[in-house]
Structure formats: C-alpha cells, structure tokens
Amino acid sequence: MKSKMNQLFIEKKCVHVLYAYQEVKSYIEQVCDFIEQGVLHGEYTILIENDRLYPMILKELQQKLTEDQLHFVHRVNSFDFYFSSGSYHPPAIHEYFKETVAPYVEKDLSFRSWAHVEWASMEDPLFLIEDFEKIVDEAVNDLSFPLICAYDSERMPDYLVTILMETHPYVLMNDEFTLSKQYLG
C-alpha cells in the first residue's frame, strides 16, 4: 500500500489523497513515512499539524532523519492555518496556503504537503469543507504537488465522507490505497 502510493507521488506530482485514519499510532507512521519518502526524493514537506501530535511526529523523525534532512520539514500550526481569519474561512485558508508555498514555487523547489484537518465540534465547518477541498484540489493540480488531507475517521459523519470522496481522487482508508469512484474533479 505505501509503495503503491509513494510510486504515484513520484510518477504523478499532482496527487490529492484523503487519508481517513483510525489510530494515532498508524497516523504517526503514515505521516513520518510520507515525510521520509519526500526527503529521500529531495522534496520539502509542508506539515500542517496540531501542537498535540507534532512533538510525537518530530520525535519519530529525529530517529529516522539527519539534522540536515529535518530542514526539509516546514511545520505549520494547524490551528493558525485553519483559523487564520478568526474562523474556518476557506478563502483565508487558501491565502495562507498560497503564502506558505510561495517560497517553494518561486524557487522552483519540489514540495509535498500533509494537512491534518480537525475541528472542535461537528457543527463547526462541515458545510465549508466542500468549498475548501475544491479549492485545494485545484491548487494541487495548478501547482503540481502531492497532498494528503488527514481526517480522523471516527469524526467523519456520512455527509462528510460523501463530500470528501467527491473532492479527493485518491483515498487511503483501512490501510487500502484506492481511486475514489465518487470523485467529481
């Protein structure tokens, strides 16, 4: 599964993946593998992650990567990223992302991104996620980079699953990497 997905990242740069994770341990393994594979191929990783999980990820990465290789990881606090305008507002998030990737694009540096998508309650941004994911899917294709959007599967009501399957061409769920049959692209 990992090799199939990593091969796709190498062959086809514009890859937008929905990752529905179930356990934190598996999540940490996946994100570290994603970063490590990027480093091995000379790609920077923009990691959009929360303050709770980032120390665990960094600890794992420090065991796998050299100090120089760790410079290929650019961490963005997920709370700052998603709520930069004071609320979950897709156009503001898109602007924040464009500013974040601008140095890589301007210097023609290869990069990939991992975005951990979270919210405080089910009422928060569910109706906005579709707009956001459509914007992100377009950015992946325009800028030609791999992106994994990670969601906690236990916090994904059916309505959200449908939205995410329609806005991600690839899906990593239950340790299986597949094409989304519902993708609307």
Give pLDDT, residue 178: 92
Rounded to an integer, the average pLDDT of 2-31 is 87
Give me the architecture of the 2-179 domain, per CATH. 3-Layer(aba) Sandwich (3.40)
Q: Domain residues of the chain, as ranges?
A: 2-179
Whether residue 131 is predicted with pLDDT greater than 80 in this model: the reply is yes
pLDDT in tens, 62-107: 999 999 999 999 999 998 888 776 667 778 888 889 999 999 999 9
Residues paired with 178 in a beta bridge: 171
Whether residue 3 is predicted with pLDDT greater than 80 in this model: the reply is no
| Alpha-helical regions (H) of 107-155 | 126-143
Whether residue 6 is predicted with pLDDT greater than 80 in this model: the reply is no
Is-contact 115 148, C-beta < 8 A?
A: yes
Predicted TM-score (pTM) of this structure: 0.92
Angle at CA of residue 21, ends 118 and 57, nearest 5°: 75
pLDDT in tens, 136-182: 999 998 899 999 999 999 988 898 899 999 999 999 998 889 999 99
